[in-house]
C-alpha cells in the first residue's frame, strides 16, 4: 500500500524488545504480525486500537503510520531498523554506520524523534568500539538539542554516556561532573528511566573510584546495592554487584569484594553478552591484582578475559590493558623480567592509553625497573606516573608515585 506502517510497527516493536508473538498477544498470531510488518496485510481501525494498547501509544500516533510515505522516509526507517538489529547482534561498527545514516536522513526530513534515537544509538555504539572522542562529538549535538533540554530523562541518558566517554579518556573530573548531573536528575517513573539512572550511578561510582574518592564512591555503592531486588534482571544485577565489588576491593575490604564478585560471576552470562563477560573478568583480575591477591581465581579471571577478548576482538587500548594485567601478574609473582618484556614491548604505546591507565602503567614499569636494578629509568617512570596522576586528579596514584620517588 506504499506506506510506512509495517516498517514503523517493526521499529517500535524492536525498540520495546517485544517478539512478534508478544506484540500480538492473545489476539493476533506472530505470523499475522509478520504479515503486517511486511506490508502484506492492511491494518483495520480495530487492529490499530489493539496494537496501540500493546505498544502503550495513542491510536492517533499509529494511524499516522498508514499515511503514504516518501521514499526517503522509508529509507531512513529501514536504516534505523538495521542499526538496531546490528546493535542487538553486537555488530557495533555496522550499527554506527546505519545509525549515522538514519540520523542524517531523519534530520533532513525533520523527524526529530528518530534523529535523537539514532544519534543516541550511534553514540553508544561508538563507546562499545572504544571511540570515546567520536562518541563525545555526537553526544555534544544531543545535549544541545531542544528535545534533550526539555526532557530530564533524555538529558540523564545523554550525560551518562558523555561521562562514560570522558572517563574513557581519563578526564575524570569532567566525568564526575556529568555523571553527578545525570544522577541528580533522578530515577524517573518508567523502567527505562530507572535503568538509565542506574547506569549513570555506576558511571559516577567508577569515576569517583578512579579519582581516589573512595568514601564518596562507597556511599553511592550503598544506593546501588539497595536497588538490587528479586525482580532485577540477572545481567543488570550482575553488573551492579561487579561495580560494588570493584570499589570494595580498592577500599581493601577484600571479603566484601570477593562476595560481590562471586555474585556477579553467578549472574553474568557469557552467552548473554560475551564482550561484557570479558570486561567483567578483566575488571576482576585488575582489582584482585591491585589488592595483591595472587591466587588461582585471579589467574582464572585473567585467562577468561584473554580468551573472551580473543573471540570478540579488542581495541588497541584493550589489548594494552590486557598486557598490563599480565605484566602485573608476573611482577607480583616475582617475575619482573617477564613483566618488563610486556611493558617495554613495541606494541605498548603508553601515550595512546587514557591518562589514568597510563599512570598505572608507569608506576608498574618503575617498580619492575627498580627490581631489575635500573634505578635511573625507574625514577623517570615514577615521575611520569605522578604527572599522569596530577593530570587526572587521581590522588592515590600520585601519593604512591611520590612514595616511590622518595625512595630513590
pTM recorded for the entire structure? 0.70
In whole angstroms, give the CA distance from residue 342 to residue 328. Answer: 10
Fold of the domain spanning 1-69? 434 Repressor (Amino-terminal Domain) (1.10.260)
How much is the pLDDT for 329? 96
Which of 286, 295, 297 has its CA nearest to residue 327? 286
φ, ψ of residue 220 to 5 degrees: the values are: -70, -30
In whole angstroms, give the CA distance from residue 267 to residue 164. Answer: 23
pLDDT in tens, the chain (408 residues): 334 677 778 777 876 777 888 888 888 888 888 888 877 777 777 888 788 878 877 666 666 565 545 555 667 777 887 888 888 787 889 999 999 999 998 888 887 878 898 999 999 999 988 899 999 999 999 999 998 998 888 899 999 999 999 998 889 999 999 999 999 998 776 666 788 889 999 999 999 998 889 999 999 999 999 999 888 889 889 999 999 999 999 898 999 999 999 999 999 989 888 888 998 999 899 989 988 889 899 999 999 999 998 988 888 888 889 999 999 999 999 999 999 999 998 677 877 788 778 899 999 999 999 999 999 999 999 999 999 989 888 888 899 999 999 998
- One DSSP character per residue, 127-189 reads HHTT-HHHHHHHHHHHHHSHHHHH-HHHHHHHHHHHHHHHHHTT-HHHHHHHHHHHHHT---S
- 394, HSE (Cβ side, Cα atoms, 13 Å): 28
In whole angstroms, give the CA distance from residue 332 to residue 339. Answer: 9
How much is the pLDDT for 1? 39
Torsion angle of the four alpha carbons 200, 218, 397, 243, in this order, in degrees rounded to the nearest 10: -50
Q: Determine the length of the chain.
A: 408
- Distance of alpha carbon 288 from the chain centroid: 21
Residue 226 in grid coordinates: 539497595
Which of 127, 157, 128, 125 has its CA nearest to residue 143? 157
- 23, HSE (Cβ side, Cα atoms, 13 Å): 26
- Distance of alpha carbon 242 from the chain centroid: 13
CATH architecture of 314-408: Alpha Horseshoe (1.25)
In whole angstroms, give the CA distance from residue 269 to residue 383. Answer: 41
How much is the pLDDT for 63? 61
Residue 97 in grid coordinates: 554506520
- Distance of alpha carbon 192 from the chain centroid: 16
Strands (E), 174-304: none
Amino acid at each position: 500500500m506504499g506506506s510506512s506502517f509495517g516498517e514503523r510497527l517493526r521499529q517500535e516493536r524492536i525498540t520495546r524488545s517485544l517478539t512478534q508473538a508478544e506484540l500480538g498477544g492473545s489476539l493476533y498470531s506472530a505470523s499475522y504480525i509478520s504479515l503486517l510488518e511486511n506490508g502484506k496485510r492492511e491494518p483495520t481501525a480495530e487492529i490499530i486500537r489493539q496494537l496501540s494498547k500493546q505498544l502503550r501509544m495513542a491510536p492517533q500516533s499509529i494511524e499516522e503510520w498508514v499515511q503514504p510515505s516518501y521514499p526517503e522516509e522509508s529509507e531512513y526507517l529501514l536504516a534505523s531498523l538495521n542499526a538496531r538489529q546490528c546493535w542487538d547482534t553486537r555488530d557495533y561498527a555496522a550499527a554506527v554506520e546505519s545509525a549515522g545514516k538514519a540520523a542524517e536522513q531523519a534530520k533532513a526530513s525533520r523527524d526529530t524523534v528518530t534523529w535523537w534515537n539514532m544519534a543516541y544509538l550511534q553514540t553508544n555504539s561508538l563507546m562499545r568500539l572504544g571511540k570515546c572522542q567520536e562518541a563525545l562529538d555526537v553526544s555534544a549535538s544531543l545535549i544541545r538539542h531542544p528535545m534533550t533540554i526539555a526532557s530530564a530523562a533524555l538529558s540523564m541518558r545523554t550525560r551518562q554516556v558523555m561521562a562514560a566517554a570522558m572517563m574513557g579518556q581519563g578526564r575524570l573530573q569532567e566525568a564526575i561532573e556529568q555523571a553527578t548531573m545525570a544522577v541528580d536528575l533522578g530515577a524517573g517513573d518508567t523502567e527505562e528511566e530507572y535503568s538509565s539512572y542506574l547506569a549513570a550511578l555506576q558511571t559516577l561510582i567508577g569515576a569517583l573510584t578512579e579519582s581516589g574518592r573512595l568514601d564518596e564512591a562507597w556511599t553511592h555503592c550503598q544506593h546501588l546495592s539497595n536497588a538490587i531486588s528479586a525482580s532485577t534482571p540477572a545481567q543488570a544485577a550482575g553488573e551492579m554487584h561487579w561495580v560494588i565489588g570493584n570499589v570494595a576491593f580498592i577500599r581493601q575490604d577484600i571479603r566484601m569484594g570477593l562476595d560481590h564478585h562471586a555474585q556477579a560471576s553467578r549472574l553474568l552470562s557469557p552467552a548473554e553478552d560475551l564482550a561484557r563477560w570479558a570486561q567483567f573478568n578483566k575488571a576482576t583480575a585488575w582489582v584482585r591484582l591491585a589488592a595483591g591477591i595472587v591466587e588461582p581465581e585471579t589467574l582464572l579471571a585473567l585467562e577468561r578475559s584473554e580468551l573472551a577478548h580473543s573471540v570478540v576482538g579488542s581495541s588497541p587500548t584493550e589489548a594494552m590493558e590486557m598486557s598490563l594485567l599480565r605484566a602485573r601478574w608476573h611482577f607480583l609473582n616475582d617475575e619482573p623480567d617477564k613483566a618488563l618484556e610486556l611493558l617495554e614491548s613495541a606494541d605498548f604505546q603508553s601515550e595512546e592509553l587514557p591518562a589514568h591507565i597510563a599512570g598505572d602503567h608507569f608506576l608498574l614499569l618503575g617498580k619492575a625497573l627498580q627490581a631489575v636494578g635500573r634505578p635511573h629509568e625507574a625514577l623517570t617512570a615514577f615521575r611520569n606516573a605522578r604527572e599522569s596522576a596530577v593530570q587526572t586528579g587521581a590522588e592515590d596514584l600520585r601519593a604512591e608515585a611520590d612514595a616511590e620517588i622518595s625512595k630513590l
